[in-house]
């Protein structure tokens, strides 16, 4: 084979690889919540950065029961195993692409508002794994977002949390840091699809 034939083959191979990659369109986006992430303590202390939650689907009641059973039987490891099989949207802190939001649970809130509870698997950093830091036990990210009927609100976010089951069906979320981060100036666009 000549060099030209090999080059043409490589170009065709690269082009077909780009065509074969499935992309997720914004058509399946149901709700987008944007605002400002304000760090209160720890490594995010004093930092503000953009925050975005993209909701593609809400976690169904049977999935919530599955997560509860996984937490009861296997603790946080069981919860993480079940969470890893779910994807309800995407959570972005800053301008990066963010992480999959594994579970997004919507509940009614006062005066026609909505409370969104978000669970996601956080990325562990290399030094946490290498040195076995205490933060390695806090492998879940957690957010509570309170929206009024006009789609405006605020919330809190715990970037590193540990989840336990208390009294059979109450989830206790422990923050690795001293204070959870605040989510301010939240605005929702789109519609919350009922479960």
pTM value > 0.95: no
Residue 129 reports pLDDT greater than 70: no
Residue 72: closest CA among 182, 172, 159: 172
163: alpha, beta or left, given left = phi > 0 and alpha = psi -120 to 50? Answer: beta
DSSP 8-state symbol, 125: P
Residue 156: closest CA among 141, 168, 143, 140: 143
Q: Is 174 exposed, middle or buried (0-12, 13-18, 19+ CB in 10 A)?
A: middle
122: alpha, beta or left, given left = phi > 0 and alpha = psi -120 to 50? Answer: beta
Mind listing the pLDDT tens digit for each residue in 132-187? Answer: 555 566 778 899 999 999 999 999 998 888 888 888 778 888 777 768 889 999 99
The residues, any chain, with a CB within 8 Å of residue 59's CB and separated by 6 or more, are 67, 86, 88, 103, 104, 105, 195
Q: How many other CB atoms are found less than 10 A from the CB of residue 71?
A: 21
According to the model, what pLDDT value does residue 22 have? 37
Cβ atoms 106, 192 nearer than 8 A = yes
Mind listing the pLDDT tens digit for each residue in 25-80? Answer: 445 678 999 999 998 876 667 789 999 999 999 999 999 999 999 988 988 888 88
And the tokens for 79?
């919860």
């Amino acid at each position: 084979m000549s060099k030209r034939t090999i080059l043409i083959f490589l170009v065709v191979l690269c082009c077909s690889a780009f065509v074969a990659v499935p992309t997720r369109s914004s058509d399946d986006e149901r709700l987008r919540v944007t605002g400002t992430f304000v760090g209160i303590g720890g490594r995010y202390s004093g930092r503000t950065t953009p925050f975005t939650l993209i909701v593609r689907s809400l976690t169904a009641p049977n999935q919530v029961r599955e997560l509860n059973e996984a937490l009861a039987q296997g603790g946080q490891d069981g919860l993480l195993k079940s969470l890893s099989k779910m994807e309800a949207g995407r959570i972005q802190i800053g301008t990066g692409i963010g992480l999959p939001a594994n579970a997004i649970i919507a509940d009614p809130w006062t005066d026609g508002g909505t409370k969104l509870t978000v669970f996601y698997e956080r990325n562990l950093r290399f030094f946490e794994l290498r040195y076995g830091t205490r933060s390695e036990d806090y492998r879940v990210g957690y957010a509570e977002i309170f929206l009024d009927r006009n789609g405006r609100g605020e919330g809190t976010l715990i970037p590193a949390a540990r989840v336990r089951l208390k009294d059979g069906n109450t989830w206790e979320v422990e923050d690795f840091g001293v204070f959870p981060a605040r989510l301010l100036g939240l605005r929702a666009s789109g519609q919350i699809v009922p479960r």
